[in-house]
Structure 1
Amino acid sequence: MSVPHLTTALTGPLLDLERKILAAQPEIEHWFRNQWQEHTPPFYGSVDLRNAGYKLAPVDMNLFPGGFNNLNPEFHPLAVQATMIALEGYCPDARRVLLIPENHTRNTFYLQNVAELAKILRQAGLVVRLGSMNPEITESTTLDLPDGGQLTLEPIVRMGKRVGIAGFDPCVVLLNNDLSAGIPAILQDIEQTLLPPLNAGWAVRRKTQHFTAYDKVVEKFAALVDIDPWVINPYFEHVDGLDFHSRAGEDKLAATVDTMIEKIRIKYEQHGINQVPFVIVKANAGTYGMGIMSVKSGEELLGLNRKQRNKMSVIKEGMEVHDVIVQEGVPTFEQINAAVAEPVVYMLDRFVIGGFYRVHTGRGIDENLNAPGAHFVPLAFASPLSTPDCDGSPDCEANRFYSYGVVARLALLAGSLELE
């Protein structure tokens, strides 16, 4: 089982980087096998990639991926197989799984994702029930889904050192809830296998920790493939002590942005890149595209109006933002039907199981696409084979996707270092 062939939005000559990755395919796969003997991959994950032509880099890694409903149904067998392999590693005799989704029950697209995830688990031979931590769910509650299906949520109960549902005692508890609001008491010190672990949630995890781990992974990988680490790694800095309402820390943030813009400009000169550098400032924890700005100079952060400050100061679950990651902006030159697109690659255990394009008609190549108005286009199989086409022309779609799968797995490996 290996990386599925996908179509990408890109056509045209393969980049120097992609050619190098393809040429080193046997070494790369051998290297990954060794890494996975030393490190346990997260149960699942999704990685947002940006392909700028001169650079292919992850800009975010989610350890509680939603969006399984956006994957191409043809990937389903891969996902089922990967689930079986993952559970053999964690809990060989697993039979019953409690899947805990996010608390928001009104987002039907999210619920469709939960249904898809439950289906994958069931087809891997498990009994699956959905346990909710939402205080409003006090009894078995059935919700209708956009595709005509239904989902039944039941309240979670704690029994000694175990959690479950009345009459259902699971061996494995799988979180599809990123714990933005904090670690709930009901999940602390349980004896069951809990995936991902509590320290993977945004109550504990920070994006800067992830990219620090990613730096280490890339250093080794770049030496293996003989590339400049920068072509797969965005610069980043951590800025804390911020308060967007009272403007505390604003000067420090602006200075950090200017220093990074200068650093990127020097790299662009070295590589002969004719682009205007930009950076993304985003909350150091959390998801859903909240608390994000794209800026081309520190000055843009000094005069934020109230609306912009409000937007930056609060993320999911109303959590206040006091520290941010300042990340090198990677423009995307991928487009679908003239709209800007970025690939999101999904993994289960150590396997790529598919992905989709996040497409936004109202955003530019240097903007965050994870925003209201985005839609999703599944990445399709380009061919039924499951390895890169080493005899095909370098820019055949399968080969182009191979490098996406490699960079996504590097981010996944960084995720496993973080969790350790």
Structure 2
Amino acid sequence: MPVPHLTTALQGPLLELERRILAAQPQIEHWFRTRWNQHATPFYGSVDLRNSGFKLAPVDMNLFPGGFNNLNPEFLPLAVQAAQSAVDKVCPEARSLLLIPENHTRNTYYLQNVATLVHIFEQAGLKVRVGTLNPEVTAPAELATASGGTLTVEPIVRAGNRLKLADGFDPCVVLLNNDLSAGIPPLLENLEQSLLPPLHAGWAVRRKSNHFAAYDEVASEFAELISIDPWTINPYFEQCSGLDFHSRQGEEALAATVDGMLAKIRAKYAEHGIEQEPFVIVKADAGTYGMGVMSVKKGEEVIGLNRKARNKMSVVKEGLEVSEVIVQEGVYTFETVNEAVAEPVVYMMDRYVIGGFYRVHTGRGIDENLNAPGMHFVPLTFECPCLPDKQGAPDCPPNRFYAYGVIARLALLAAALELEATDPDA
């Protein structure tokens, strides 16, 4: 598969960051090994990165990643090895796995993602079946996937503290590919089977502000390790609560938070000689799918929103009302694929990078959220599975993708700390 035609403007400082990452590769990999000995790895995850030339930072971390169908199929062996490692950690004797997807059964691309996950775990040596929480599915149903294949989904039966299927299929491991935005169903509580990711990783409980607080800690430690300014890999953020977009409650406080953050970014831009105009992203503190997100360059922009904008910001997936937002430093993306604005998304399973893609949007700007209708995906070609090329330039594809993998794994480590800190049983 050819490398996507990728261009990155303003390369100077980022090249320096990539040089430092490449030069410190042995220390970095040793540091990661040490950290993974201290913390349980999330089962899987995907990280949205933004590369502005002067900054390379994660802007979102998904613990229930869809989109496995967008990965380069040449790297399936990486995913299979990582899947074996991930399952071995929770249940070395595992023979069977029940995969629970999102309830939306009409999105054929999402179902293709589920089919890809089934294939990965079957290749890893497990018997895999798909059980659904959707109350409308009362008997096994065949659903069409985007590639023209079919996927059988079946209603789940609870027997005591175990999840089964109607014919007695009794899995060792239950894997959620459903982010629980609609809340935690009683069916999933107090199971004796290994349930992954844990319930508190779902959006019914999880908050982005907790994740980025953990990332602050990880980024500071990593920056000290390779002697960089942590800001070059870490976006500023603040949480703002008590909001009601419909009644305009809390918008003055939100505007003040936005202006305070813009002032901080402006000072940092001046320190680094950056001439771009700062911006922030205001997004729901819980939730996914790019819903409840706006790009802002002045605090006054969040005051007196019109009805369409208020509706967009007030509700996210599954009708979840938004009362808390995270105000995050906006990171420009100066990457393009075939002249369209692009951002890399890196996928991991256990502690391993297994691939990624560019999220590309022809209708969005360099300071906008690209996770929106109209986006498309170009697989990242990890030419030599995320291993750097010591003879190559810092920005040659293997080295750039290695840097992406390092920053993505920092976000994965932050997710490990976040899950520990928010574990209700700890």
What does 1:17-166 align with in structure 2 at a 5 Å threshold? 17-166=17-166
Letter in 2 for 1:157: V
1:407 — aligned with what?
407
Partner of 1:297: 298
How far off its partner does 1:146 sit? 2.1
Q: Given that residues 7 and 381 in structure 1 are in contact (C-alpha distance below 8 angstroms), is that contact kept between their aligned partners in structure 2? A: no
Counterparts of 2:164 and 2:372, CA distance in 1: 35
Q: Determine the C-alpha separation between the residues in 1 that align with 2:120 and 2:5.
A: 25
Deviations 1:329-379 (A, max 9, x none): 000000011100000000000000000000000000000000000000111
Query: Which region of structure 1 is more displaced relative to structure 2, 138-147 or 184-193?
Result: 138-147
Amino acid at match of 2:248: R
Cα pair 1:7 1:397 within 8 Å, conserved: no
2:278 is aligned to 277
Displacement of 1:69: 0.2
- Residues 204-215 of structure 1 mapped to structure 2, 5 A cutoff: 204-215=205-216
AA at the equivalent of 2:303: L
Note the 1:171-182 alignment, pairs <5 A. Answer: 171-182=172-183
**Contact 1:49–1:56, Cα closer than 8 Å, also in 2:** yes
Percent of counterpart pairs with the same letter? 71
Does 1:257 find its partner at 2:265?
no
Whole-Å separation in 2 of the counterparts to 1:327 and 1:202: 18
1:395 aligns with 2:387: no
Distance in structure 2 (CA, Å) of the matches to 1:82 and 1:26: 21
- AA at the equivalent of 1:412: L
Residue 390 (structure 1) shift: 1.1
Give me the whole-angstrom Cα distance separating, in 1, the residues matched to 2:5 and 2:45. 20
1:386 to partner: Cα distance: 5.1
Corresponding residue number in structure 2 for 1:340 = 341
Q: 1-side partners of 2:261 and 2:193: how far apart?
A: 44
Task: Determine the structure 2 residue equivalent to 1:9.
Answer: 6
Give the partner amino acid of 1:55. K
Shift of 1:148: 1.7
Q: How far does residue 394 in structure 1 lie from its aligned partner after superposition?
A: 2.1
Q: What is the correspondence of 1:218-367 to structure 2 with a 5 Å cutoff?
A: 218-367=219-368
The answer to whether the 8 Å contact 2:41/2:413 transfers is yes
Q: Please state whether the residue corresponding to 1:77 is helix, strand or coil.
A: helix
Residues 182 and 320, structure 2, Cα contact 8 Å, conserved in 1: yes
Shift of 1:15: 1.4
Moved more, 358-367 or 164-173: 164-173
Q: Does the 8 Å contact 2:99/2:174 carry over to 1?
A: yes
Contact persistence 1:95–1:171 (CA under 8 A): yes
State the alpha-carbon separation in 1 of the partners of residues 5 and 24 from structure 2.
21
Retained in 2: the 8 A contact 1:8–1:397? no
Structure 2 gaps, min length 5: 421-426
TM-score normalised by L of structure 1: 0.97
| Structure possessing the higher relative contact order (Cα contacts under 8 Å, 6 or more residues apart) | 1
Asked whether the 8 Å contact 1:8–1:379 carries over to 2, the reply is no
Letter in 2 for 1:339: A
Write out per-residue CA displacement over residues 262-297 of structure 1, whole angstroms, 9 at most, x where no aligned residue.
000000000000100000000000100000000001
Secondary structure, in 3 states, of the residue corresponding to 2:382?
coil
Opposite residue 28 of structure 1, the aligned amino acid is I
Structure 2 CA distance, aligned partners of 1:10 and 1:214? 28
Q: Distance in 2 between matches of 1:400 and 1:169?
A: 44
The 2-side partners of 1:34 and 1:246 are apart by 49
The CA distance in 1 between the partners of 2:164 and 2:377, in whole Å, is: 34
Match for residue 423 of structure 2?
A: none
Q: 2-side partners of 1:346 and 1:197: how far apart? A: 19
Alpha-carbon distance in structure 2 between the residues aligned to 1:116 and 1:303: 45
Q: Cα RMSD between the aligned structures?
A: 1.3
Separation in structure 1 between the aligned mates of residue 3 and residue 42 of structure 2, nearest angstrom: 23
User: Is the contact between residue 241 and residue 249 of structure 1 (CA under 8 Å) also seen in structure 2?
Assistant: yes
Count of matched residue pairs: 415
Cα separation, 1, equivalents of 2:5 and 2:410: 19
Amino acid at match of 1:9: L
- Identify if the C-alpha distance between structure 1 residues 409 and 8 changes in structure 2 by more than 3 Å, giving closer, same or farther: farther
Tell me if the contact between 1:313 and 1:321 (Cα under 8 Å) persists in the aligned partners: yes
- The 1-side partners of 2:301 and 2:75 are apart by 43
Unaligned runs of 5+ in 1: none
| Pair 7,88 (structure 1): closer, same or farther in 2 beyond 3 Å | farther
Contact 1:7 1:398 survives alignment (8 Å): no
| TM-score, structure 2 normalization | 0.96
Deviation at 1:392, TM superposition (A): 1.9
Q: Give the distance between the partners of 2:42 and 2:334, measured in 1 at CA.
A: 30
